[in-house]
Chains A and B, each alone.
Chain A
Amino acid sequence: MPNIAIRPTTRVATRGNNPPSIVTASWMRQVAEDRDEIAFRELFSAFGPRVKALLLRQGADIQTAEDIAQETLLTVWRKAHLFHSDKGSVSTWIFTIARNLRIDRLRREVVWYEFNEQTHDRPSDDPLPDENVARNQEGDLIQSILSTLPNEQVEVIRLSYLEGLSHSEISEKLGLPLGTVKSRMRLAYQKVRSAVEGRL
């Protein structure tokens, strides 16, 4: 493979904070099919700093956060052929890669991979053909749903996903019974699921 020359990249309009999922899925396709390094750089620029931010919030030091961010994006490069936009968005896929690396590096626990009858990497629930686009774009929908949830429900979701706190740690931090924390999580999930299923 030739050395890489720095070339100007085309900036896309962002909706909210990150490029739309249809754009990131297109970059993934270019990386998977053509080993397109320009597209990879776009993915790196869009997601690398966000993965670092996530890791910092979860207690990683700067060097560890950068190492995991780099390894996450290198995994994206290496395993791009395993990404299927009909199973979910690029953001979701990258989140799961970063999550597993965090478990391995920060918590020093073994990552348990899912196996089922159809694939080693993704859930096997095959969407119907007309679900494909919706699946890929459900992240956009979920973001908008999260913005409509009561603060108390969003708070427990964010503490779990962004701060990496266990249910009992959230209970302690907020001074709430464990059952209340779980109940708020269930309510938030029900609303997200209803919205996603209504779209599919």
Chain B
Amino acid sequence: MKLAHHPDTATLLSLSAGTASESLTAVMMAHLELCPECRRARSTLDAIGGALLDDCKPAPLSFGPQEALTDRDLMEAPFAAFGEPADSFLMDPLEAMPWMPRCLMARLACAGEIPTWSGPVDGVRTIAVQLRWRMHGVLELWEAAPGASLPQQPTRTNEAAVVLAGTLQDGFAQYGPGDFMEFARGPNERPTVRSSEPCVCLVSADCP
């Protein structure tokens, strides 16, 4: 799929360097699932990290590989990668959400969270995704009815979203499934649902 709207290079760099907030990381990962172009860019950015690691002046370890290898139980223990979905994970609510990004599905499965809509308020239903460190921001799924404008909360900054279903329009462009967007400031610039079906998006924001 060729998408029209992508994260800025500097934003992708923050993902690669591991300095992006958890909520923005989630939105970018959902975009990357659908965007080979950004996956390729991220690979190159990761390679910059690898090159800089190579260039680090080594800090001697207080133990050697011998010590690390002697813990047989640790070395051979089955590796349960955090974030990977369990095979049995097929919750009914998700079957009604075919647009759900796999990274978010895995996150909900690991946390044992069953996604449940709240609202609607002014034509918008929401699901709050729990973040481990909530002071950093919020991550929410929004489902907005046709014609509805996405809500604005004054305390939130750096709002970004990936569209998962339907179409949004702001003062600059239209955004379809997979597109990444940063919300402009100002009540008159809020994105509005242009599609005849509801628009679903995953939204991140900072909450200072």
Identify the A interface with B (CB < 8 A): 1, 3-4, 6, 16-18, 37, 40-41, 44-45, 47-54, 56-57, 65-66, 69-70, 73-75, 77-79, 87-96, 98-100, 102-104, 107-116, 120, 123-125, 138-140, 142-143, 146, 157-158, 160-162, 164-167, 181-183, 185-186, 189-190, 192-193, 196
Contact A54 B53 (CB under 8 A): yes
Contact A95 B29 (CB under 8 A): no
Q: Which residues of B contact A6 (CB under 8 A)?
A: 66
Contact A99 B17 (CB under 8 A): yes
Q: Looking at chain B's contact residues, is the secondary structure mostly helix, strand, loop, or mixed?
A: helix
Out of A3, A17, A78, A167, name the residue touching B56 (CB < 8 Å).
A17
Contact A51 B53 (CB under 8 A): yes
Q: Which of B37-53 contact A (CB under 8 A)?
A: 39-53
24 contacts between A and B (CB under 8 A): A1-B76, A18-B55, A44-B68, A66-B62, A69-B61, A74-B74, A90-B50, A98-B53, A109-B22, A109-B136, A111-B82, A112-B107, A113-B81, A113-B83, A114-B33, A139-B51, A140-B51, A143-B51, A157-B52, A160-B19, A164-B17, A167-B19, A189-B48, A196-B44
Question: Which one, B8-16, B116-124, B148-156, B181-189, is touching chain A?
Answer: B8-16
Q: Which residues of A contact B54 (CB under 8 A)?
A: 16-18, 50, 91, 139, 143
Q: Is B106 an interface residue (CB 8 A)?
A: yes
Q: Which 3 pairs, one residue from A and one from B, show the smallest C-beta to C-beta distance?
A: A92-B50, A49-B58, A91-B50
- Give B12's nearest chain A residue, CB to CB: A189
Inter-chain CA distance A116–B50, complex, in Å, is 22
Inter-chain CA distance A63–B81, complex, in Å, is 23
Contact B55 A65 (CB under 8 A): no
Contact B72 A125 (CB under 8 A): no
Out of A52, A96, A158, A160, name the residue touching B13 (CB < 8 Å).
A160
Inter-chain CA distance A89–B56, complex, in Å, is 16
Contact B61 A96 (CB under 8 A): no
Given contacts A44-B65, A52-B58, A91-B51, 19 further A-B contacts (CB under 8 A): A4-B70, A40-B65, A50-B54, A50-B58, A73-B65, A90-B50, A99-B18, A107-B133, A111-B83, A112-B26, A114-B32, A114-B103, A115-B101, A116-B32, A143-B51, A160-B13, A162-B52, A165-B19, A185-B10
Out of A66, A115, A146, name the residue touching B33 (CB < 8 Å).
A115
Contact A189 B45 (CB under 8 A): yes
- Known A75-B79, A161-B49: A108·B133 in contact at CB below 8 Å: yes
Inter-chain CA distance A79–B67, complex, in Å, is 19
Contact B48 A50 (CB under 8 A): no
- Give A193's nearest chain B residue, CB to CB: B44
- Give A146's nearest chain B residue, CB to CB: B51
- Known A66-B63, A115-B33: A146·B53 in contact at CB below 8 Å: no
Q: Which of B132-185 contact A (CB under 8 A)?
A: 132-133, 136
Q: Which residues of A contact B58 (CB under 8 A)?
A: 49-50, 52-53
Contact A88 B47 (CB under 8 A): yes
Q: How far is the CB of A192 from chain B (nearest CB, A)?
A: 6
Contact B48 A161 (CB under 8 A): yes
Q: Is B25 an interface residue (CB 8 A)?
A: yes
Q: How far is the CB of A135 from chain B (nearest CB, A)?
A: 9
Inter-chain CA distance A3–B148, complex, in Å, is 66
- Give A56's nearest chain B residue, CB to CB: B59
Inter-chain CA distance A88–B136, complex, in Å, is 32
Q: Is B60 an interface residue (CB 8 A)?
A: yes
